[in-house]
Amino acid sequence: MKQSMMFIPTLREIPSDADVRSHQLLLRAGFVRQNAAGVYSFLPLGKKVLQKVEKIVREEMERAGAVELLMPALQQAELWQESGRWYSYGPEMMRMQDRHNRDFALGPTHEEMITSLVRDEINSYKKLPLTLYQIQTKFRDEKRPRFGILRGREFLMKDAYSFHANHESLDEVYEKLFQAYSNIFSRCGLDFRAVIADSGAMGGKDTHEFMVLSDIGEDTIAYSDSSSFAANIEMAPVIVNYEVSHEAEAQLAKVDTPNQHSIEEVSKFLSVPKEKCIKSMLFKVDDQYVLVLVRGDHEVNDIKIKNILEASVVELATPKEAKEVLGCTIGSLGPVGVPSSVCILSDHAVKFMVNGICGANEEGMHFSGVNPLRDLENIQYEDVRFIQEGDPSPDGKGKVVFAKGIEVGHVFKLGTRYSEAMNATFLDENGKSRPMIMGCYGIGVSRTVAAIAEQFNDENGLVWPRSVSPFDLHLVPINTKQEDQKELSDKLYELLTKDYEVLYDDRMERPGVKFADSDLIGLPIRITVGKRAAEGIVEVKIRQTGESMEINTENLIETIEKFIVK
Ligand code: ATP
Ligand code: MG
């Protein structure tokens, strides 16, 4: 493609509204432009990268046995009313009415649409399993659209849905798609982890998120320093053999702690380490009050509480509620002598504490000498805390370290959540009607482009891996007015386009401008045609390493072959 015919509006300055590298560079290198908050145009170069990612996605999905279709973005409210999500989805759903005042949404996802499609056409186990996917624009009115195309309000997603007659079949397809996702992100060149994620009350092993490691990621991943274990910090189980202390048990005693509320304050005031304090927090779990205990140096994980108690809503009690239930406000709450109407859920670590400190349910008072096994009653000991760096890896191999991650993909065993609500049934071998078992699998295609840009850049611009680069080669004559340079460039362009995608900078720009643009755009190899054109000598520069060499055009293909990753 001749650059004079392209539309690549590069910028020299860093746009003031872009605060992460990928966003800055995708704007500066002319890949995308913002139209409204979280709404972007993909300019020709950006569109090319999208297409490359889409192609990889399609190849791997088809290899895993999925079939492509395309569903409408415009979805009638009735479908969402059937599943109940018309009411529960909240303000993220873009809603509208047509001229007859009928309610519609612009699809944020397609479980309802696909379930209705499949239920109308498939009614026998003989036609299952079936895995369908599409690559399509989604709409979500995100509260905080940010980082450019990383979190848009209109974005491109690959979403797949599988339908099964039994759980074994779902497990099989889930495995296959898990592998397909690993292949997709590897082929995009990304450094990623597949992490165990939260699936609500369904338990941890039935959903994985694919996370690209990056400091700007919004999720924290806990992974092992010596195995492949990785989990979203929300889900990582804590498996620690706490040491039993041999300290002699002291008596339970009340101590004054005027105006000392937080663990920080209390431990300082009483000169005891934080791990000697018991943190007590009152939660409202659905309609029940639950006092949750963790060691002072640990943090409560409310998602674990939600899963353990199979609850739908877990929220902190207000100070007023705490006063009503336990007789004092937050800051002096504790587990000693709690009314039996309040359950106590404690982290395992608390059980092994000796002579701890906890709130006395009296303003400005704490207990010292608390020995949970001796002093506390009606406690359920569970894993309710967040894992921490340095904890043993839950698989028993190595220690846990943290990293930030960008979620680019998500695979999820849905079960019969939608098929039951929407009556998507089939007849099994015995002629019995049963709800279909489903899985769903998403990839943020446009987000993946941003994640690649985030991992592949340097101070001069983007550095695309070949697999997703908008072009393979950048052919740059220094001065197109020089006949020998133009002639050689034209000849090389013709030759190279046979095997490669070539961007030919035939513009009448100064060399400085051409080089700066070329670095910004970041194609894997630049071929510069300059002063030595008459001798048939060109410069080949590898974008990723900065390595450059003078090459006789006779050896050009060979050199490109050596450096370009297949
Ligand atoms: P997030 O936690 O980032 O909001 P999500 O859990 O809402 O993601 P899913 O509903 O699982 O995401 O959607 C599937 C995939 O779509 C995600 O893994 C992500 O890659 C992508 N995605 C989700 N929301 C956006 C968005 N606002 N902009 C771009 N991509 C998105
Ligand atoms: Mg979301």
Confidence of residue 169 (pLDDT cuts 50, 70, 90): very high
Q: What is the DSSP letter of 124?
A: B
Confidence of residue 244 (pLDDT cuts 50, 70, 90): confident
The first and second tokens of residue 231, run together, are: 């989990």
Q: Is there a single domain that holds both residue 55 and residue 190?
A: yes
For residue 101, being part of any structural domain is answered with: yes
For residue 212, being part of any structural domain is answered with: no
Instruction: Report the pLDDT value the prediction gives residue 202, as an integer from 0 to 100.
Output: 40
Q: Is there a single domain that holds both residue 32 and residue 165?
A: yes
* Chain-centroid distance, C-alpha 557: 40
Residues having CB within 6 Å of any atom of ligand 1: 109, 140, 142, 151-152, 155, 157, 407-410, 442, 444, 446-447
Which listed ligand is nearest to 141 at the C-alpha? 1
Mean per-residue pLDDT of the chain: 95
Note the pLDDT tens digit of each residue in 360-410: 999 999 999 999 999 998 899 999 999 999 999 999 999 999 999 999 999
Residue whose CA lies nearest to ligand 1 atom number 13? 442
DSSP per residue, 363-412 = TTEEEEEE-HHHH--SEEEE--B---TTSBPTTSSSBEEEEEEEEEEEEE
For residue 377, being part of any structural domain is answered with: yes
For residue 266, being part of any structural domain is answered with: yes
The first and second tokens of residue 390, run together, are: 């340095």
Confidence of residue 203 (pLDDT cuts 50, 70, 90): very low
Buried/exposed code over 362-396 (b: 16+ C-beta within 10 A; e: otherwise): beebbbbbbbbeebbeebeebbbbbbbeebbbbee
Q: Which of 141, 157, 445 to mutate to test the pocket of ligand 1 (most atoms within 8 A of CB)?
A: 157
For residue 466, being part of any structural domain is answered with: no
For residue 399, being part of any structural domain is answered with: no
Q: Is there a single domain that holds both residue 433 and residue 554?
A: no
Confidence of residue 505 (pLDDT cuts 50, 70, 90): very high
Q: Say how far apart CA 354 and CA 373 lie, in whole Å.
A: 9
Residue listed under structure tokens 């995009």? 188
Buried/exposed code over 484-498 (b: 16+ C-beta within 10 A; e: otherwise): bbbebbbebbeebee
Nearest atom within ligand 1 for CA of residue 159: 14
* Residue 523 φ/ψ, nearest 5 degrees: -70, 150
Instruction: Report the pLDDT value the prediction gives residue 322, as an integer from 0 to 100.
Output: 94
Mean per-residue pLDDT, 342-359:
96
Q: Say how far apart CA 522 and CA 465 lie, in whole Å.
A: 9
Instruction: Report the pLDDT value the prediction gives residue 566, as an integer from 0 to 100.
Output: 56
- The percent of residues in the chain predicted with pLDDT above 90, rounded, is 93
Which residues are within 8 A (CB) of 431 and not within 5 positions of it... i.e. 6 or more apart?
Answer: none
Q: Is there a single domain that holds both residue 487 and residue 417?
A: no
Residue whose CA lies nearest to ligand 1 atom number 31? 444
Residue whose CA lies nearest to ligand 1 atom number 25? 151
Q: Residue 483: which CATH number?
A: 3.40.50.800
Q: Is there a single domain that holds both residue 138 and residue 189?
A: yes
First and final CA of the chain: distance in angstroms? 21
For residue 286, being part of any structural domain is answered with: yes
Domain that holds residue 126: 19-195+413-453
Please count the structural domains in the chain: 3
Q: Residue 94: which CATH number?
A: 3.30.930.10
Confidence of residue 204 (pLDDT cuts 50, 70, 90): very low
Nearest atom within ligand 1 for CA of residue 219: 2
The first and second tokens of residue 415, run together, are: 């079960």
Q: Is there a single domain that holds both residue 52 and residue 165?
A: yes
Q: Is there a single domain that holds both residue 120 and residue 37?
A: yes
Mean per-residue pLDDT, 88-95:
94
Q: Is there a single domain that holds both residue 77 and residue 171?
A: yes
The first and second tokens of residue 331, run together, are: 């800051």
Q: Residue 341: which CATH number?
A: 3.90.960.10
Confidence of residue 201 (pLDDT cuts 50, 70, 90): very low
Q: Say how far apart CA 170 and CA 174 lie, in whole Å.
A: 6
Q: Is there a single domain that holds both residue 30 and residue 159?
A: yes
Single-letter code of the amino acid located at 138: K
- Nearest 5°: the CA angle 91, 410, 18 is 60
CA distance readout (Å), 429 to 54, 159, 167, 171, 334: 38, 30, 15, 20, 57
Ligand 1 centre to CA of 193 (Å) is: 16
Q: Which of 447, 448, 452, 454 to mutate to test the pocket of ligand 1 (most atoms within 8 A of CB)?
A: 447
Confidence of residue 197 (pLDDT cuts 50, 70, 90): confident
Lowest mean pLDDT among 21-25, 101-105, 156-160, 232-236: 232-236
What 3-state DSSP class applies to 312? coil
Q: Is there a single domain that holds both residue 25 and residue 152?
A: yes
Rg, the chain, Cα only? 30
Last residue of a domain, which of 359, 382, 405?
Answer: 382
Mean per-residue pLDDT, 510-526:
98
Nearest atom within ligand 1 for CA of residue 218: 3
Given a cut of 50, whether residue 99 has pLDDT beyond it is: yes
Single-letter code of the amino acid located at 97: Q
For residue 227, being part of any structural domain is answered with: no
* Residue 67 φ/ψ, nearest 5 degrees: -120, 140
Q: Is there a single domain that holds both residue 49 and residue 133?
A: yes
Q: Tell me the pTM.
A: 0.89
Last residue of a domain, which of 402, 422, 453?
Answer: 453
Residue listed under structure tokens 């590298």? 21
The first and second tokens of residue 531, run together, are: 């002063």
